[in-house]
Amino acid sequence: MAYSFDNARSLLAVLAILLIAWLLSENKRRFPIALVLGAITVQVALVLALFAIPNSQAVLAGVTGAVDGLANAADKGAQFVFGFLSGGDQPYGQTPESAPFIFGFRVLPLILVISALSALLWHWGVLRWITLGFGFVFEKTMNLGGASALAVAANIFMGMVESPIVIRAYLDKLTRAELFLMMVVGLATVAGSTMVAYAVILGPVLTNAAGHVLVASIISAPAGILLARVMIPETHQSGAPYDHSSALKYQSSMDAVTRGVQDGVMVAVNVAAFLIVFVAFVWLINNALALAPDVGGAPLTLQRIFGYVFAPVAYAIGLPWADAQAGGQVLGTKLFLTEFIAFIDLGAMSADQISERGRMIMTYAICGFANVASVGIMTGGMTVLMPERRAEIMNLAWKALIPGFMATLMTAALVAALPAGLFAP
């Protein structure tokens, strides 16, 4: 295992992120020093537990194998409906290996399968007990209220709209700080249905991509808790106890599958719609920028602007300067477009554009829902669940975007601070 200045430099980014959160705090006198130490310890402990323990790479390889199996199963279902467009036997003399990767026919069906499977595992109690376990850990180690601890744990596996349903009976009892915390963690993590899709996109170019994506979503939750507590410290007890019951229930296994498919359809449609619109916007902006003079010997594009603006951020969290512009491009795309487009761009970058270590760090930096479009989705879902708190939700939503984005940057910086050899296959 090697340690260099790139590793140590990223620790300064962690301090800078905490400083920014404190400067934006509503109560600068209530800086949670104990929570800072606890959250960072939990993050580092989780990374070491998932990467450094004996045979951990075998476990991650198993996770990758499971994801590959789910992707293959989804491909079989999609091929039955869409034929060769989803892979399999190809016409015109092509082989399955040379089949084009068509996002709509390869990734969107996977979202449906994972959504249905997640609902089924929740109904059977598997996912529910895993969530309860994480909730108990967050309650005891970070002094969260029971209901918000459970919602935070649910955010690791569910979407930012679905997780509040788990504690629906306690939503009216949450304090303003707890409501903000739930928003921030929702933006700092991703749902299980999209998590697997990201792993499929990065699989060909990143070793143990599924393991990295899973770990990224898990360890970004403590970072989100920390930054939310720094910006809006808790001043009152919520009175919401830790309850093992949940408002998210299914009548039967078939009901779970049916509703899981229906929820998956909504997610897949949203993903497809936002990708179509934002890719179209990028095309329009780039065509307008083409009218400007060349910069650095090449036409100016939105991606290049992102690269220039966010390159210092990418460098600060641990990327070498040679990778910084590519990393900055991905960060800007994630924040202003969607993380899906960012993952697609990251997966398409060649080894000449970004190193394997840089790609791994960026996987952690963009593995969260914190982007402009997600704020709209989150406020829409939460105002339906809590119409009486609509004004409060609208006031907090845009404020939550900043710590939600910084939480994944903090996670990436902590991963970058660890010896590079720790993540070698």
Reported as a single tens digit per residue, the pLDDT across 66-100 is: 767 777 777 777 777 777 666 666 665 555 555 55
Please answer whether residues 331 and 405 qualify as being in contact, where contact means their C-beta atoms are separated by less than 8 angstroms: no
pLDDT value of position 405: 94
CA 90 centroid distance within chain: 34
pLDDT tops 70 at residue 376: yes
Report the alpha-carbon distance of residue 323 to residue 121 in Å, rounded.
Answer: 40
Q: In the prediction, which pLDDT does 296 show? A: 73
Mean pLDDT score, 101-127: 76
Domain positions in the chain = 5-423
pLDDT of residue 244: 47
Rounded average pLDDT over 223-246:
72
Residue 413 is encoded by which pair of tokens? 């910086």
Least confident of 3-12, 222-231, 236-245, 355-364: 236-245
As to burial, measured by CB atoms within 10 angstroms (0-12 exposed, 13-18 middle, 19+ buried), residue 38 is middle
**Start-end of H helices in 93-162:** 103-106, 108-124, 126-142, 146-155
Q: Is the pTM above the cut of 0.85?
A: no
pLDDT, greater one: 215 or 407: 407
Tens digit of pLDDT for each residue in 123-156? 887 777 777 777 777 777 777 766 777 777 777 7
Higher pLDDT, 339 or 159: 339
Question: Does 119 score more than 70 pLDDT?
Answer: yes
Tell me the range of 43-57, 141-155, 290-304 where mean pLDDT is highest.
290-304
Across 38-59, average pLDDT: 74
Six-digit token string for 102: 């068509």
What is the residue whose two structure tokens read 């791994």? 360
pLDDT of residue 93: 56
125 backbone φψ class: left, alpha, beta (φ>0; ψ -120 to 50): left
